[in-house]
Amino acid sequence: RFAPFHAAAASVFERFGRTRLVPVVSLASPEAAEPVARALLRGGVDVMELVLRTPSAMQALRLIASKVPEMAVGAGTVLSAEQAEQAVAAGASFLVSPGTAAISTHLTTSHHTSSARCGTNPRVVEWATQRGVPIVPGCATASEIEAALELGLTHLKFFPAEARSAAAEMYISGTRPDSPSTASGGAAALKALGGPYKDVRFMPTGGVTQANLPSYLSLPGVFAAGGTWLVPAEAVAKRDWAAVEALTRAAVQAAAEAS
């Protein structure tokens, strides 16, 4: 199910599911936007998350959406409703938010009213759900997952995937009965955390690499993995689009073998 987005989200998430990879891209210059998108396409990936962390990010997003329409480009690190609106106007087909802090909110959507805590800015979720824009907010604890479910969200970013606290270590090893109060902790933590939530699908991001990619994609609750290693800053600086293509091809092969 893709509530509350229906057909729009189904189309986006089906595309995610084809390669199960979401390159997380940061561009300091809009001149690199089109070459990066085309290198990813040649490597076999037709979806990407462009993070809104640089002054030229919105321009780069607009260029990819207009010049490389076969690429489904989404906006990442969306921290406000204003950013969400600008990104969708620029051509973003989905939104991703980091969700590093739980915020209480009384949220009204076209589907229901909910008082919940979710690991993202509630105004971003509200803006997206009211307009049918697919959004993948970051969550990393059971409380945040349940809050997201209350808001009708079923596709979440597990972030940061590779951060591990002492509490998470104890929970994974079974030495304490309660779930860790701090987030994340690798594929083992995601497997344990996602176990009770069979209707939730996760996109681990933050520390995912070519080496640990199979451990995440082998989990039944993972619909895709996000990572920066596909478009390294060094390759972008050198305009080494062949390197981006090669990294993408290797990741596509690894993802296929893990599925």
List, by residue number, the catalytic residues.
49, 157
Q: Are 199 and 180 in contact (CB under 8 A)?
A: no
Q: What share of the chain is helix, strand, coil (3-state, %, to 5)?
A: 45, 20, 40
Radius of gyration of the chain (CA): 17
Q: Are residues 251 and 226 in contact, defined by beta-carbon separation less than 8 angstroms?
A: no
CA distances from 202 to 15, 100, 129, 243 (A): 15, 16, 18, 28
- The two tokens of residue 176 are 């304490």
CA distance 205 to 200: 16
Closest residue by Cα to residue 224 from 5, 82, 12: 12
